[in-house]
Structures are given as structure tokens and as C-alpha cells.
Structure 1
Amino acid sequence: MTHTLIRNGNLVADDWTILQLAEGDSPAAVALPAGKTFFPLAVWQARRADILARGEPVGLLLQPDDRVEDIVPDLPRFAAIAVHFPKFADGRGFSTASLLRQRHGYRGELRAVGDVVHDTLFYLKRVGFDAFALRSGKDAEYAAEEGFDAFSERYQAAADQPLPYFRRRSA
């Protein structure tokens, strides 16, 4: 089943699969699907060579407890990284995105997945996300039209605007 995704402000068909490990599945023994796939960090660590040998674009799925520092040497290998938000109130994914973009210079697609709603799109984009898979049942068209324009000016520096407002005004 194809889902709709917001990528760079546009609605597009999602052509990636997220590999989910069931409880008790061994990361070293799980079957690797064909096609563009987001692999959980544990699977990437256990099956790196097998995943790369597939010759397909590689995506990584990060959970809130996964450490960005563990993947820095491999960042150039990932066409996309999905950061999972297990619930609306869990903001650790914002820090993950900021670290990936600002500290480690990741330039591939950075996707927010999980409990993602239109109210958070403005803030998610500010820290570096450029793709958004909304929570099931949410209107992607409405979110794409309304979710990014919550504020007309941004005072703080961030991934989407490195200069704070006072520096932009004086320029």
C-alpha cells in the first residue's frame, strides 16, 4: 500500500518501505526486503554488508534511544534517514535531526515518521526535516498547505535559517 508523503513541501507517493522488527526477531536473521527500505539501526549494525550488497538505496530508521554518534561514519551511505516519533509529546527526534544536520552535516533526506501531525511541521522543518509521513488518519494535503506557515518570522537561528532575526534585519 502506497502512502502519501510530504517531501520538500509537495505531496508525493512514498516509495520507501520501513522494515519493522517484531518482538523476538533477531536483527541478524531478519529477511531483507527488496527496494528502497528504512532499516532499524540494529539491523544495519548486524547486516551492513548484506544491506549494501543489495545495490538498492539504503535508509536508516532511528528510534528515540538510538545514538547519532553510532552512525556518523556511515552517513554518506544513507540516501534517507527516518526518525521515529513514538508519540506526540516525545521530542527527542528534534534533537536527533539537529545533530544530523548541523553537527554532522547530513544532506540526504531526513524524514519524520510516527506520531507526526500538521501542528509540528513548522518546527520539524526548522531543525532539518525535509520529508514528513503523517500519522495515519491525518490529512496530508491540509498539512502541506497549512503546516509550514505557522509564523511569518523566525527569531532564532536553526537549520533552515542560520542567521538570527537581528542579524538579518541589520544586513
Structure 2
Amino acid sequence: MKIIAADAVPESAGAEKTLQIPNDAELAELVASGALEGVQRVELQFPKFTDGRAYSQALLLRRRYRFAGDIRATGDVLIDQLVHMHRSGFTSAVLAPGVNADAAQRQFDRYSAFYQGDVLEPRPLFAREAA
């Protein structure tokens, strides 16, 4: 997962098409309207760290709508959320102001394996070991 500090200069969009999706958006309507056509990055907002609707949106984008581009978390993104974000389908995150980007890797080192499946590896641990 790519971690971006809040004070880092944002990447230039260039030819990359980005779509910002609000938390209350109906993804089915967006997909049906063709809003995801040609989009390379979707930005999902965390207005508060307690608002988890973006997790569900990322999971739906990956599993149901087969979005293969970058899903970026923005807003009130804390280090504690990064591992779950990654498991939900996020590929990049812009940390909240004041959050140390260097400490983010420690979270990934601390939690490196999981029993249940996720977007990255849908099979649970017992199925992976049996294979």
C-alpha cells in the first residue's frame, strides 16, 4: 500500500483520470451511468475516523464492480486503519495532518497474516494451507 503524508505534494494527475466518490453515493448508479469508464483512480473520503462507509465502498468496487485501478483513502486517515484499508481494497492512502508516515510500516509488519479471507486473498487460512 502506498502511504502519502498529508504535507506531501499531491501527484500530478496528468493523463490519469480520478473520480472522487462521496460517502453517500450509490455505487450501482455510478457504475450503471458509466462514471467509472476510463477512471484510473477512485478517491474515497473518510470525513471522520469513525465513519467506515468508505471501507464498504472499496470492497464493492473491488469485488462486485471489478475495479482494478488505484483506490485512495483521503480525509481523517489514521495509522490504525491502514491494514484494514489495505485488506478492503485500498491501494493508497493520504494520512491525516500530523500523522507520521514513517510509523505506518510498523502496522504492516505487526499484522502480516490473517485467518479470514479478504480482497487480497479471498481464501481463509485453512483453505490456503490445504492447497
For normalisation by structure 1, the TM-score amounts to 0.67
Query: Against the structure 1 CA distance between its residues 118 and 149, is the aligned structure 2 distance closer, same or farther, given a 3 Å change threshold?
Result: same
Alpha-carbon separation, structure 1, partners of 2:56 and 2:29 = 15
Q: Which of 60, 68, 71 does residue 27 from structure 2 map onto?
A: 68
SS of alignment partner, residue 60 of structure 1? strand
Aligned equivalent of 1:103: 64
What one-letter code is carried by the residue in structure 1 that aligns with 2:48?
Answer: K
Give how far 1:106 is off. 0.2
Alpha-carbon separation, structure 2, partners of 1:167 and 1:13 = 43
Alignment of 1:85 with 2:81, yes or no, is no
Query: Against the structure 1 CA distance between its residues 87 and 106, is the aligned structure 2 distance closer, same or farther, given a 3 Å change threshold?
Result: same
Query: Against the structure 1 CA distance between its residues 68 and 110, is the aligned structure 2 distance closer, same or farther, given a 3 Å change threshold?
Result: same
What one-letter code is carried by the residue in structure 2 that aligns with 1:134?
Answer: L
- The root-mean-square deviation of aligned C-alpha atoms, in Å, is 2.1
For normalisation by structure 2, the TM-score amounts to 0.86
SS of alignment partner, residue 36 of structure 2? helix
Alpha-carbon separation, structure 2, partners of 1:137 and 1:147 = 17
Structure 1 residues 29-68: aligned runs within 5 Å: 36=13, 56-68=15-27
Structure 2 gap ranges (5+): none
SS of alignment partner, residue 99 of structure 2? coil
Query: Against the structure 1 CA distance between its residues 149 and 70, is the aligned structure 2 distance closer, same or farther, given a 3 Å change threshold?
Result: farther
* Stretches of 4+ aligned residues off by more than 3 angstroms: 9-13
What one-letter code is carried by the residue in structure 2 that aligns with 1:67?
Answer: E
CA contact (8 A) 2:40 2:69 kept: yes
Larger radius of gyration: 1
Alignment of 1:157 with 2:113, yes or no, is no
The sequence identity of aligned pairs, in percent, is: 34
SS of alignment partner, residue 40 of structure 2? strand
Give how far 1:77 is off. 1.5
What one-letter code is carried by the residue in structure 2 that aligns with 1:125?
Answer: H
Alpha-carbon separation, structure 2, partners of 1:10 and 1:87 = 18
Q: Which of 3, 7, 11 does residue 15 from structure 1 map onto?
A: 11
CA contact (8 A) 1:118 1:146 kept: no
Alpha-carbon separation, structure 1, partners of 2:129 and 2:9 = 39
Larger RCO, structures 1/2 (Cα 8 Å, 6+ apart): 2
